[in-house]
Structure 1
Amino acid sequence: MKKSTFLQEDLRFLAQVLQEQLRAEVPSGEFFRVKCVVKNDKMMILTQHPQGVATDTEEVFDLLTEVLLAIPSHQEQDVELYLRIAGVKLPYAKRSLTVVPNGNMASSTPSIAADFVEVPEETPQTTEQETDFSATSPLIFADDALVENYDPMADMPETSVTYNPPGKYRGILGAGILALVVLMGTGTYLLTRPCVLSGCKQLQDAQELQRQLQQKSGSLKSEKELSGLEKRLTEVGEELKVIPAWSPSGGEAATLAANLSEQAQIINQVQQALKAGSVAIEKSQAPAKNLQDLQSRQQMWRQAIAPLEAVKPNSPAYDLIQPKLAVYRVGLQAINQQLQTEERWLQKLAAAQKVAQAATQREGTAKTLQDWQRVQFTWQIAVNALSPIPQTSSAYPEAQRLLTEYKPKLSVNRDRATRELLAAKTYNQAISAAAQARTYGEQKQWQKAVVYWNQALTSIKQVTPGSIYANQSQNLLDSYSTSLRQAEEQLQMATVQQKNQTDLEKTCSGTVRICNYTIDERGIIVNITPEYEQTLAANINAAKTQNDATTFNSVTNHLQILQQALEVISDNANLPLVVYDAQGQQIHQHMP
Structure 2
Amino acid sequence: MLETRNGLISLSELEQFLTQSLSHHNVGVVPRKISCLVREKNLMIMLHYEQPAMPYPRKLFGVVKEHLAQLVVSSEYQILLYLVVQDQYQTNLLPPSVKVASPPPQALPATPSPQPRSTQSIQSWRFPKLPKFALGGVGVVTAIFLGYLSQRHCLFSNSCALIPQANRLAKQAELIIDFTPTDLSKALVELNNAQQLLQSIPSVSPHHREAQHLSQNYQQKSQAIENLLQADTIKTEALSLTQLPLNIETAQEIESLWNGAIALLESIYSDRNLTELAQARLAEFNAEKQAITSLKTAQEAAEIAKVRESVAQSLENWQLVAATWRTALERLASIPKDSKIAHEPEINQLATIYQSRLTQTLDRVQQETIATQFLQQAQEQAKLAQNNLDNRNWQTSVSYWRQAVEILNQIPRESSLFTDAQILMGNYQQSLQQAQSQQAIALNLEQICSANIRICNYQIDSGVIKVELTPTYQEQLQQVALATSVQPNAPAEMELRQHLSGLEAIFQSISSNTGLPVEIYNAQQVLIVTYLP
Query: TM class, shorter-chain normalised?
Result: 0.3 to 0.5
Higher relative contact order (CA 8 A, sep 6+): 1
Q: Which one has the largest radius of gyration? A: 1
User: Which structure is higher in helix share?
Assistant: 2
Structure 2 length-normalised TM: 0.46
